[in-house]
């Protein structure tokens, strides 16, 4: 190498060191602004500032054909670097991936600011709603729907749930972003996180132990919704296990939409109020040991089978259990007991603290 060439290289190295902005190093996946130079049926060329020429071709040209079609020579656009320098010396670019990455960045900013945003519902399944935000596909789980939109028919089948959710398809719903994962294209949003400050303030007026009056506003297989009479904007949930002391299969066995009821607040968490009808009713298990004794023979009605045995109704509120081991197998149990059949049972154990009475067949 001549002294001239050596000095030139040293000067270039010094320039790169002192002015790195003049020699940008491109990184794969980076988003940059490029200017359209020329477009042909098979390739599109772009000026990459201070670097050289970028190219979009092959699958990337096919995916970005609509974007390129609308772009005029001299216009700039964001592009994602697929390869900083291919074997032809071009910077390989992707226009569609750049738009997608920008969309994810916008969603991330919305999540970080905890801002509400409107999404369009584009489909439904039994798990919730499919939504679209900035051309990204997302999911609104059924558990994250607002009380207003939650399917409320008791004993819903999967098909009925989808039918109700389909009524929301095509609508715009205001949500908050719960979680994102661009690598797996996962976007989860929540509608129930949107709640006016005024409603939050109203909820803050209640405390555990309060007794409220309200109207049953909806039923679901897991419980009943109740709208407060004194503050109709506030709605709570009575879980199926809190509707009464007895075992029930459906909330509609206890309440109907439109019923006026009194309920006790049993929990307030994350601006959600849980209530109980059971808490205001006499506890039938309180004096159960006065009513029944170990060794007594009692009449009971077979209520339900389960893998562990059979539930036996002794009264409307007191249910006992006869274990599967009394029969040897589920098949044998079903030959000796029938649903709604009445039989004599011996009381083997009483455990009021567990709300359990263990039975066996009377001999």
Instruction: Answer yes or no: is 245 within a domain.
Output: yes
Same domain, 182 and 222: no
Q: Say yes or no to pLDDT of 201 above 50.
A: yes
Same domain, 183 and 243: no
The pTM of the whole model exceeds 0.75: no
- Cβ count within 10 A of residue 243: 22
Same domain, 135 and 181: yes
Q: Which of 174, 190, 206 is the last residue of a domain?
A: 190
Q: What is the DSSP letter of 204?
A: T
The structure tokens listed for 305 are 């089978």
Q: Say yes or no to pLDDT of 17 above 70.
A: no
Same domain, 136 and 222: no
Same domain, 235 and 157: no
The whole-number pLDDT of residue 179 equals: 92
Mean pLDDT of all residues belonging to the chain: 86
**Comparison of pLDDT for 70 and 274, the residue scoring more:** 274
The whole-number pLDDT of residue 22 equals: 52
Same domain, 269 and 297: no
Instruction: Name the residue among 321, 316, 322, 351 with its Cα closest to residue 246.
Output: 316
Q: Say yes or no to pLDDT of 306 above 50.
A: yes
Q: What percent of the chain clears pLDDT 70, i.e. is strictly above it?
A: 92
Q: Are 206 and 199 in contact (CB under 8 A)?
A: no
Q: Is 229 exposed, middle or buried (0-12, 13-18, 19+ CB in 10 A)?
A: middle
The whole-number pLDDT of residue 219 equals: 86
Range name among 3-12, 149-158, 187-196, 203-212 with the lowest pLDDT average: 3-12
Instruction: Answer yes or no: is 105 within a domain.
Output: no
Give me the phi and psi of 320, to 5 degrees please: -105, 175
Same domain, 157 and 176: yes
Instruction: Answer yes or no: is 314 within a domain.
Output: yes
Instruction: Answer yes or no: is 128 within a domain.
Output: yes
Domain with residue 62: its CATH number is: 2.40.50.140
pLDDT in tens, 79-121: 889 899 898 889 999 887 777 777 888 899 999 998 899 999 9
Q: Say yes or no to pLDDT of 127 above 50.
A: yes
Q: Are 45 and 55 in contact (CB under 8 A)?
A: yes
H or E segment at 49? none
Same domain, 182 and 207: no
Same domain, 250 and 223: yes
Residue 309: partners with Cβ closer than 8 Å, 6 or more residues away = 321, 322, 323, 324, 325, 326, 333
- Grade residue 154 by pLDDT with cuts at 50, 70 and 90: very low
Same domain, 205 and 233: yes
The whole-number pLDDT of residue 319 equals: 92
The whole-number pLDDT of residue 12 equals: 42
Q: What percent of the chain clears pLDDT 90, i.e. is strictly above it?
A: 51
Cα–Cα distance between 169 and 359 in angstroms, integer? Answer: 51
- Cβ count within 10 A of residue 306: 10
Instruction: Answer yes or no: is 104 within a domain.
Output: no
The whole-number pLDDT of residue 279 equals: 94
Instruction: Answer yes or no: is 106 within a domain.
Output: no
Cα–Cα distance between 300 and 281 in angstroms, integer? Answer: 23
pLDDT in tens, 18-47: 554 555 678 888 888 899 999 999 999 999
Instruction: Answer yes or no: is 109 within a domain.
Output: no
Total domains present in the chain: 4
Instruction: Answer yes or no: is 160 within a domain.
Output: yes
Same domain, 312 and 355: yes
Residue 138 lies in domain: 114-190
**Comparison of pLDDT for 4 and 198, the residue scoring more:** 198
Same domain, 162 and 211: no
In angstroms, the Cα distances linking 78 to 35, 49, 103, 139, 314 are: 9, 12, 12, 27, 73
Mean pLDDT in residue range 221-248: 90
Q: Which of 160, 190, 220 is the last residue of a domain?
A: 190
Q: Which of 280, 310, 331 is the last residue of a domain?
A: 280
The structure tokens listed for 218 are 């909806």
């Amino acid at each position: 190498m001549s002294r001239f060439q050596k000095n030139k290289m040293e000067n270039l190295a010094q320039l790169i060191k002192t002015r790195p902005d003049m020699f940008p190093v491109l990184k794969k996946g980076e988003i940059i602004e490029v200017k359209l130079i020329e477009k042909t049926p098979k390739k599109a060329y772009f000026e990459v500032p201070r670097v050289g020429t970028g190219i979009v071709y092959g699958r990337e040209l096919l995916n970005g054909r609509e974007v390129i079609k609308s772009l005029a020579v001299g216009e700039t656009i964001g592009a994602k670097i697929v390869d900083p320098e291919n074997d032809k010396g071009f910077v390989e670019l992707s226009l569609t991936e750049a738009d997608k990455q920008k969309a994810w960045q916008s969603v991330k900013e919305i999540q970080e600011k905890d801002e509400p945003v409107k999404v369009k519902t584009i489909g439904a399944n039994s798990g919730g709603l499919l939504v679209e935000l900035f051309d990204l596909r997302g999911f609104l789980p059924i558990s994250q729907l607002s009380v207003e939109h939650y399917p409320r028919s008791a004993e819903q089948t999967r098909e009925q749930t989808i039918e109700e959710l389909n009524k929301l398809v095509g609508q715009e719903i205001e949500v908050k972003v719960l979680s994102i994962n661009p690598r797996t294209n996962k976007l989860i949003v929540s509608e129930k996180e949107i709640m006016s400050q005024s409603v939050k303030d109203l909820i803050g007026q209640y405390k555990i132990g309060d007794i409220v009056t309200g109207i049953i506003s909806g039923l679901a297989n897991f419980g009943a919704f109740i709208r407060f009479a004194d503050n109709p904007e506030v709605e709570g949930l009575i879980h199926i296990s809190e509707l009464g002391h007895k075992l029930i299969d459906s909330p509609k066995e206890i309440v109907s939409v439109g019923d006026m009821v009194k309920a006790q607040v049993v929990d307030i968490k994350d601006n959600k109020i849980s209530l109980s009808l059971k808490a205001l009713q006499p506890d039938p298990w309180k004096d159960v040991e006065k009513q029944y004794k170990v060794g007594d023979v009692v009449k009971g009605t077979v209520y339900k089978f389960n893998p562990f045995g059979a539930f036996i109704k002794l009264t409307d509120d007191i249910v006992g259990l006869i274990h599967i081991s009394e029969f040897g197998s589920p098949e044998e149990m079903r030959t000796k007991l029938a649903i709604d059949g009445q039989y004599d049972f011996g009381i083997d154990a009483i455990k009021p603290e567990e709300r359990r009475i263990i039975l066996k067949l009377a001999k």
